[in-house]
Amino acid sequence: MKTTKKNIENFFEPRKLAVAGASRNPRKFGHGIFKELVKRGYEVIPVNPRADEIDGIKCYHRVSEIPGEVKSLLIVTPREQTDNVLREAINKGISNIWVQQMSETEDTVKIAEEYQVEVIYRKCIYMFAEPVTGIHKFHRTIVKIFGRLPK
């Protein structure tokens, strides 16, 4: 399974996405990416089993509870939760799934292949959520120079 430019475009195209692992804690990655995606103009639906809202936005406790029109899910959960969240998303019919680098497990790709679902993995969403800025823009340029940007 290889991440392509088209997979990434499909993920961002709806401009509405859920973030499993969104956090109320400003020191956590799940909070930073949640806030950044909102700032970049995405409609973001947070998913966290221990929060009813994050920054004033209704939070869902499980992926299975999010509205049916949501077709893109970013998974930024701890590794021990990732594969269960992935299965739940697949069973819900979510077609665009991004497992943030460092959240994937040895089984993540196997699960996606078993269900015949394409999953973006081993990629940092900060490098692709437009507009890309700061250090992430620089990192994206370096990756592109070395021919490792998805085509």
Cα–Cα distance for residue pair 20/113, rounded to 1 Å:
21
Q: Write the DSSP symbol of residue 122.
A: E
CB atoms within 10 A of CB 150: 15
Measure the CA dihedral 48/94/6/34, to 10°.
-10
Contact 76, 17 (CB under 8 A): no
Contact 60, 35 (CB under 8 A): no
pTM, entire model: 0.93
Asked if the model's pLDDT at residue 1 lies above 80, the reply is no
Q: What is the pLDDT of residue 147?
A: 79
Residue 29: exposure state from Cβ atoms within 10 A (0-12, 13-18, ≥19) = middle
Per-residue model confidence as pLDDT tens digits over 5-53: 999 999 999 999 999 999 999 999 999 999 999 999 999 999 999 999 9
Q: Which domains does the chain have, with CATH numbers?
A: 5-145 (3.40.50.720)
Per-residue model confidence as pLDDT tens digits over 78-130: 999 999 999 999 999 998 999 999 999 999 999 999 999 989 999 999 999 88
Q: What's the token pair of residue 138?
A: 């620089």
Cis peptide before 78 (omega within 30 of 0): no
Contact 18, 73 (CB under 8 A): yes
Cα–Cα distance for residue pair 29/21, rounded to 1 Å:
9
Q: What is the pLDDT of residue 11?
A: 95
Contact 98, 74 (CB under 8 A): yes
